[in-house]
């Protein structure tokens, strides 16, 4: 039973984007393991509060990720 966990900062992705992540990751897994594994292929998204996630010692918030996505420094 494959289980894929995607960790994200809360409020970075919309509900629609999270559904898209789940759909695409599921499809990628099934390309490797075969369609018969669909009923037992789990994909889950875990959200962490802003500030509970850091890179290089700098805590990140959703606004930092949105700035990075827009091409601005966080």
Model pLDDT for residues 14-71, shown as the tens digit of each residue: 999 999 999 999 999 999 999 999 999 999 999 999 999 898 999 999 999 999 989 8
> pTM to 2 decimals?
0.83
Q: How far apart are CA 64 and CA 40, in angstroms?
A: 35
- Per-residue pLDDT for 73 more than 80? no
Cα separation of 8 and 46, whole Å? 6
């Amino acid at each position: 039973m494959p289980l894929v966990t995607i960790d994200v900062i809360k409020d970075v992705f919309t509900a629609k984007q999270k559904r898209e992540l789940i759909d695409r990751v599921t499809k990628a897994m099934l390309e490797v393991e075969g369609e018969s594994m669909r009923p037992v292929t789990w994909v889950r998204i875990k959200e962490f509060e802003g500030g509970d996630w850091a890179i290089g010692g700098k805590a990140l918030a959703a606004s930092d990720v949105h700035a990075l996505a827009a091409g601005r420094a966080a």
